[in-house]
Amino acid sequence: EIYRQVETIPWVEDSLVVGCNSSSGDVDVVLFVKLRDGIMTEEKVKEVKTCIRSNLTPRHVPSFVYQVSDIPYTRSGKKVEIAVAKLLRGDSVSNKGAIANPECLGEYETIHQQ
């Protein structure tokens, strides 16, 4: 549902959404966005959140929005949400061989460390 909304925004090339457990016990929605060009500004973050809130529900609105250079996919063309969720928990990804572009995972590890 979130993908369908976010990818209608002209400057968004691709996106990935994962749930991440927060310290309060809730699940935070974390959105990673690959832009067609440019950088993620506060205005763009607001546009994404408004689009999601207007077309879905407030619970779908991401707590965090990060710009990334690439979205990881499996060799069969599916987005790799589980591997990214593991990285955000501080776990390692054991099946990198199944990922078509594993080199992009380092960026997600860096985001986790921030």
Structural domain spans, the chain: 2-113
Mean pLDDT of the chain: 93
| For residues 35-56, average pLDDT | 96
The reported pTM is 0.92
Q: Tell me which amino acid residue 105 is.
A: L
| For residues 52-73, average pLDDT | 96
Place of tokens 């589980």: 82
Place of tokens 């929605």: 29
| For residues 11-20, average pLDDT | 96
| Predicted pLDDT of residue 22 | 75
Q: Which fold has domain 2-113?
A: GMP Synthetase; Chain A, domain 3 (3.30.300)
Q: Is-contact 56 48, C-beta < 8 A?
A: no
Q: Tell me which amino acid residue 16 is.
A: L
d(CA 114, CA 96): 23
| For residues 50-74, average pLDDT | 96
Question: Which DSSP letter does residue 67 get?
Answer: E
| For residues 53-76, average pLDDT | 96
